[in-house]
Chain A
Amino acid sequence: MARQPSAIVGIGASAGGIEALGHFFDAMPADSGCAFVVVLHLDPRRESEMAHILASRTTMPVAQVGDGMPIASDHVYVIAPDTELKIRDGRLHVSQPSEARGHRHPVDVLFRSLAADRRERAIAIVLSGTGSNGTEGLKEIRAEGGMSLVQTPETAKFDGMPRSAIAANMADHVLAPEQMPEIVLAYTRHGYAAASVEVEPASPDGEASFEQILELLRARSGHDFGSYKQSTQRRRIHRRMGLRNIGTLDKYVDELRGNPHEVQTLISDLMISVTGFFRDAEAWNALAELVVGPLVEERGSGASIRIWVPACSTGEEAYSMAMLVMDQAEAAGKRFDLKVFATDAQEDNLRRARDGLYPAAAMANFPPERLSRFFEKLDSSFQVNKELRDTVVIAQQNLLRDPPFSRLDIISCRNCLIYLQPEAQQRIVALCHFGLRQGGRLFLGNAETVGRHDDLFETVSKKWRIYRRVGPTRHDLIDYPSAHGLAEPRAATDDLSPQLVEPIAASVAETARRALLERYAPASVLIDRKGRVLYFHGTTRDYLEQPPGEPTRDLLTMVRDGLALKLRGAIREASNGNVSVTVNARIRQGRASRTVAMTVMPVSSASRDGGFLLVSFTPSPSASGKPQARAAAREDLAEASSGEQALQDELTSTRAELRNTIEHLETANEELKASNEEATSMNEELQSTNEELETSKEELQSFNEELNTVNNQLQHKIGELERATNDLSNLLSGSETATLFLDAKFRIEWFAPATRELFDLVTSDIGRPIAHFARKFADENLLSDAETVLKKLTTIETEVRSDAGRWYLRRMLPYRTRDNHIAGIVITFSDITARKRASDAADEARVFAEAIVETIRQPLLVLTGDLRVKSANQAFFDQFHVRPQETTGRLVHELGSGEWDIPKLRMLLDEVLSKGQPVIDFEVEHEFRDLGRRCMLVNARKLVRDGERDELLLLAIEDVTERKEGEIAIRLSEQRLTDLIDALPGAVYTTDAAGLITSYNPAAAELWGRDPELGSDEWCGSWRMYWPDGTPLPHDECPMAIALKENRPIRGAEAVAERSDGVRVPFLAYPTPLHNAWGGVIGAVNMLVDITERKRAEALAERLAAIVESSDDAIISKNLDGVIMSWNIGATRLFGYAPDEIVGQSIMMLIPPDRHDEEVDILSRVSRGEHIEHYETIRQRKDGSQVWVSLTVSPLKDARGKVFGASKIARDMTERRRADEHRQVLMGELNHRVKNTLAVIQSIASRTLSHASTIEEARDAFGSRLINLAKAHDILTRESWMGANLAEIVADTVKPHASSQDRFRIEGPDVHLAPSAALAIAMALHELATNAAKYGALSTEKGHATIGWEVSGAHVDRRLALHWTESGGPKVAPPTRAGFGSLMIQRVLAAELGGEVNVTYESSGVVCTISAPIPAGRDGSERRNDLAGS
């Protein structure tokens, strides 16, 4: 037994709803305890797959709804197509839609029923969809205390439905579908929905909180909900807590304090009312008939009609009212100044009322003319048109607080009172009474009554709650609300301090009247005929007193003791007689008493009840003073008869009895009130039930209408079906295919005309078993096949041959109805004769082709269009060592180990397929699993098959591996040969047998200096040829020509080629004839060796050898062991050894023993590759003498640069060394001589200076002596200081003194003097000449001097005698003192010459005789000694 669900979640969706539903159920746990009822707009003609779709999104069981299905928790129910779904008593009720298609609102229908059935446990969800479906339903859900969720328009695929619901302010939560489950769960777990009990104040605190909420609302918004029914309030507050998931009132109070929005929401929730256009249609009909109709009739055109719709909510009722009146007025041909006042306390509601925009569902029951008369369509909604809108005045007014409108014809205050406390209800009824003009009508909801105020209203229709105002205007009844309302702040403020507001200013006249009344009129009360006080005037407290207990308006119970009796009588009297009656009575107050005069005066009234009575109280004059009092007392006493006391006593007891009775009455009254309360609440419930019933009725009506529509559609469909049947039978008849329908017992159901060729059938045969008919074809399996088909529900095809020789394809298949029921079988016969024949021909061709394929030795493959192997021949299997089963059906590139997976091949094959181009000799090389690397030629061709879609490819494979390998080997070997020849440095060329050049290598072209013309140049590619001796060599006589002509190889014939640039290249030719296998000459090959370099090298070597041999230097080569390898003539000259003596010997033979280390060093340096430059040392000759040599040693390197020996060049340095020494000596000598000369000069200077008498003299003498000395030096220098010729000395010395040529006579033989002697003589002669010029012969013009010398003796005894003889001069005397001159002559000259000097002063002049030895043989050979010794 499934659990009762904690709540039922109704989900409405339309377009785009499946996705949203998916999201919702994805997030919804399967154990929520809720039941889900999903309503979608489904195509009424199709089976719904919704249940399957949803089943995939949730683990809960999903079922399509069947009527009467109980609702279990954790189940999902989906509406069936073309139905309306409602919930009643926990069961699902499926019904036909009440409205025509396109006007249905199944979601609204569901929500309404859900709200009624589950109240606060109803959760309604509006998901994606177009239109406004659901919005109206949500109103009910909320009114009944359930929760409404709406998908956020942004997440909805179609946002029409969500937006409509949000615009109507019907969404408790606006959420994405996936967020909804959380809220649903929170709500169902909350005490509000879970326990479904009202929040009873469990503690005084709770009570306080509840009061706090009301207080808070009053403070924040100015709305006083004190007069609302507490039960309703609690339920609504609790609902808010449920929606907000708040657990306790205290927390909710906190929430309200912090969240102004919640305050507004709560207020609007508390004021929730369900309204609609013409809600309770019958009530409206009654209103139209009983109120509006007469009103329209009664009023003239142009009159004003004022209607008030308080608590109008979103205005539907006000507009309904206006429409009603306008309709009626138009029907009556009148126009009124219609004003409908629509008021409500909530601005939100009013805003929507002003907009006048309502979802289509709101006016579902409108006759179209009304809709078009008053509304304009906007999308899925309708908006009130301007005319209607203008008649409705919309204003904010709180019925409980604000003053009413007045002079109204109709007040429609429906479904407002039921939410209020009785007191508030009464107040509003009074207010309505006030507002209505006399005779105006009050229209209440069908659960409401005027209650206690039956005195104010007269019932017009009890059933439809229409009342008429009666009685005078009762200001007393509306004072309170007015004053209270004014005392309240209008806006939501926190200021609760009572504020005195100026009463509404009365007119001046009224003010005056009131003042007068206050001043002069006695205290009075106005009562009706029943004694109820209607109005108090003046100070009545002296006379009236409210008794304890419930307040009362009964005057007689209010009057003070002692007045009642008299007053009652007076009232009776005045009322009956319609006269004014005055009585006196005494008021007893304790022991004191005073007299009061009471006047009862009937007052005429407009009311039909007839009049009121005015009771005035005046203190009796007697009571104010003693006399009067006494008089009154007397009067009293006088009145008191003897029996009076008894009467008094009786009266007292009666009064006590009366009091008892009254008490009883009051108790009974209390009870009555309580039962009344009960009855009222019961009534209320009954009323709501009634409302529901009304709704159900409406819905039933709409179902009905929808059914009609469906019926129409059905008829239309039948028409369509008929046409389809016709089409189908035409099709079948027209087709050549013989078709036969059999039922489950194989009775003919229907057959196509073509069937007659196979069976003898006529139309009347329908219904007869097919087995009864003879067949015109061979088919023994027909019946058994039919049974198989029926049993296994498969299709059977077979080919049958008719007696006429035609072939048919018989297909047999089960006959399925639309709901998949097997109702029999269908047999078709297609004529395939032509196809059969073609196929046979094809088979033959195939066999033929296959035979060819199998026979051929080349591997062949047939491929399908997707390159799968269709077949392969035996050659293929043999060639590739594969088995047929691992080949056939596989893709060609998957064959074997993928060796055919060649992109290029695949591309080509694709091209073959697409363009029909055959592949010819495509080469494939691949490593085959068993065969190794093979080379294949592939040929492919498309097999053209007309009209066939699957193309075939023929693939022929040829293994060309061996052939290819052979070719490659040959090519390789040829290539190697060509490469070899090309790489050869030697020139190689070939000719054919005729001598025409067929090939040549680059070296040949280089040697020739030209590229010969292949095929035309003969014998040799060179320009011109010569014999080695330079004579021209004709080409046809060249070695190649000879070799070919004589058919013999020639080895190394020398010739010279001349290049085009004139360069001649000597070469050796090696021509060899080539033979074929049979010995015939097929050509020749020739190799030419360029010997230019060799020739050049030979010449160079000869030249070098000549140089070495002719060199003066010793040029020796030795190896690294110091062994001499070559020896030139220079070496022989320097060292004395002949080559044959020394070659092969050690170099050490040339080195003095003390210098052997030197050679070791030289060898080690040379072996390191060093070159030794000009190294001076001593070497030893063959004769043992030593010689200075300068050595240059260079390493000898072989071709690889490795040192294998040294060449040594030695030069004789003896002469050079000698010259150097000489130079040294000369330098020393020069220095010595200069110093000596300077010492001489020093001596001359010293002597000259010490002997001179004046400076001038000294200067002249010194100068001339120095010049003389210099001249002597000149001579010596001329002679290289080897001595001087005496004649020269003499001539040079006297020249400065010889003024004329003949002054001196110089005579003597050639005599060579040593340098010192020459100097001494020169100096002595100078002194003599100087002296002669000063004092002697030369001082006169005629004097002259003779210088003569002679040599005597020979060899060692040779002597020189020189004479200086002056003559012709003045007479001379010997000098008085010996000057420098005499010193020079006598001492120096003598000493130098080692001889004698004699000076005499003859009278003829000075004579000086010099005699000195000059040993012979000193002239030449003595030169060296002379130099060394001087």
Chain B
Amino acid sequence: MTLQAAKRILIVEDEILVALHLEDVLLEMGHHVVGPCSRIQSAIEVARTEDIDFAVLDINVAGTLSFSVVDILRQRSIPFVFASGYGNEGLTDGYRDETVLHKPFESRELGRAIARAFPAGPTVDLTS
């Protein structure tokens, strides 16, 4: 199985079980997980400071929308996807064109989203 090169991926998710599951999936893919942040405040902190390659964000995190985090990611040109129970309707103007994974999603969907963000990057062969 050919995997991409390991990335540092930020998880912003207030549902701990879901975050844990996401973490498992990403780890399984050979990536490093940053977070998961279950509060926007901590997520902003992490996004601003940590070394991150990619991010998976819930839109509504414990009652606060995660667009402020996204703004930071955009500034830093870090690719990301939303993972939301709302689907696209949850997005407000300015964010509608972003990729949204609809919960619950399959790990493959997430993998493809990451792969799209890094089209020609080096790959890691986990089997080797």
- Residue positions of A touching B, CB distance < 8 A: 1228, 1231-1236, 1238-1244, 1246-1247, 1250, 1316, 1320, 1383, 1387-1388, 1391-1392, 1425, 1428-1430
Contacts and interface: CB of A to CB of B under 8 A. Distances in A.
17 contacts: A1231-B85, A1233-B85, A1234-B85, A1235-B104, A1236-B15, A1239-B15, A1239-B17, A1239-B18, A1239-B85, A1242-B18, A1243-B17, A1246-B21, A1246-B24, A1246-B25, A1383-B20, A1429-B62, A1429-B63
Nearest to B21: A1243
A1391 B104 CA distance: 21
B60 interface: yes
Contacts of A1429: 60, 62-64
Contact of B21 (A1232, A1233, A1235, A1239): A1239
A1236 B16 contact: no
Given A1228-B89, A1235-B85, A1242-B104, A1320 B16 contact: yes
B104 A1238 contact: yes
A1196 B77 CA distance: 69
B17 A1240 contact: yes
A1388 B18 CA distance: 10
A1341 B60 CA distance: 47
Nearest to B85: A1235
Nearest to A1250: B24
Contact of B104 (A1231, A1239, A1250, A1316): A1239
Nearest to B17: A1243
A1392 B21 contact: no
Nearest to B64: A1429
A1318 B13 CA distance: 18
B20 A1236 contact: no
A1428 B63 CA distance: 7
A1239 B103 contact: yes
A1242 B104 CA distance: 7
Interface residues of B, number: 23
Interface string B1-38: 00000000000001111101100110000000000001
Contact of A1235 (B14, B38, B102): B102
Given A1425-B63, A1429-B62, A1240 B15 contact: yes
Nearest to A1384: B17
A1316 B62 CA distance: 10
A1236 B58 CA distance: 10
B86 interface: yes
Contacts of B25: 1246
Contact of A1232 (B18, B20, B60): B60
Contacts of A1316: 14-15
Contacts of A1240: 15, 17-18
A1394 to B, nearest CB: 9
A402 to B, nearest CB: 154
Contacts of B85: 1231-1236, 1239
Nearest to B61: A1429
Contacts of A1241: 104
Nearest to A1429: B63
Contacts, number: 69
Interface of B: 14-18, 20-21, 24-25, 38, 60, 62-64, 84-87, 89-90, 102-104
B2 to A, nearest CB: 23
B63 A1430 contact: yes
Contacts of B14: 1316
Contacts of A1320: 16
B18 A1387 contact: no
Contact of A1391 (B24, B38, B84, B102): B38
A1320 B102 CA distance: 23
B22 to A, nearest CB: 8
A1268 to B, nearest CB: 13
A206 B24 CA distance: 164
Contact of B20 (A1234, A1387, A1430): A1387
Given A1236-B15, A1236-B18, A1316-B15, 14 more contacts: A1228-B86, A1228-B89, A1232-B86, A1233-B85, A1235-B104, A1236-B85, A1238-B103, A1239-B103, A1239-B104, A1240-B15, A1244-B17, A1387-B16, A1387-B20, A1388-B20
A1246 B106 CA distance: 11
A1236, A1250, A1387, A1391 — which one has the most chain B CB atoms within 10 A of its CB?
A1236
Contacts of B38: 1391
Nearest to A1430: B63
Nearest to B62: A1429
A1247 B24 contact: yes
A768 B38 CA distance: 192
A1429 B62 CA distance: 6
B103 A1236 contact: yes
Contacts of A1228: 86, 89
Contacts of B87: 1231
A1316 B63 CA distance: 12
Contacts of B64: 1429
B43 to A, nearest CB: 14
B124 to A, nearest CB: 22
Nearest to A1232: B85
A1228 B59 CA distance: 14
B20 A1247 contact: yes
Nearest to B24: A1246
Contacts of A1388: 16-17, 20
A1247 B103 CA distance: 17
A258 to B, nearest CB: 130
B7 to A, nearest CB: 21
Contacts of A1391: 16, 38
B18 A1231 contact: no
A1242 B21 contact: yes
Contacts of A1246: 21, 24-25
A126 B86 CA distance: 143
Contacts of A1233: 85
Contacts of B15: 1236, 1239-1240, 1316
Nearest to A1425: B63
Nearest to A1243: B21
B103 A1243 contact: no
Contacts of A1234: 85
A1325 B111 CA distance: 35
Contacts of B18: 1236, 1239-1240, 1242-1243
B40 to A, nearest CB: 11
Query: 9 closest A-B pairs (Cβ-Cβ)?
Result: A1429-B63, A1235-B85, A1243-B21, A1232-B85, A1242-B104, A1239-B103, A1243-B17, A1239-B104, A1391-B16
Contacts of B86: 1228, 1231-1232, 1235
* Max chain A C-beta neighbours (<10 A), residue from B15, B64, B87: B15
A175 B60 CA distance: 142
A1238 B104 CA distance: 6
A1428 B65 CA distance: 11
Contacts of A1428: 63
Which of B38, B87, B90, B103 has the most chain A CB within a 10 Å cutoff?
Answer: B103
A1238 to B, nearest CB: 5
A1228 B87 CA distance: 10
A1235 B62 CA distance: 15
B27 to A, nearest CB: 11
A131 B17 CA distance: 160
A1231 B24 CA distance: 25
Nearest to B83: A1239
Contacts of B17: 1239-1240, 1243-1244, 1388
A1082 to B, nearest CB: 97
Contacts of A1231: 85-87
Contacts of A1250: 24
A1247 B18 CA distance: 11
Given A1391-B38, A1429-B62, A1235 B20 contact: no
A1250 B107 CA distance: 15
B63 A1243 contact: no
A1106 B104 CA distance: 61
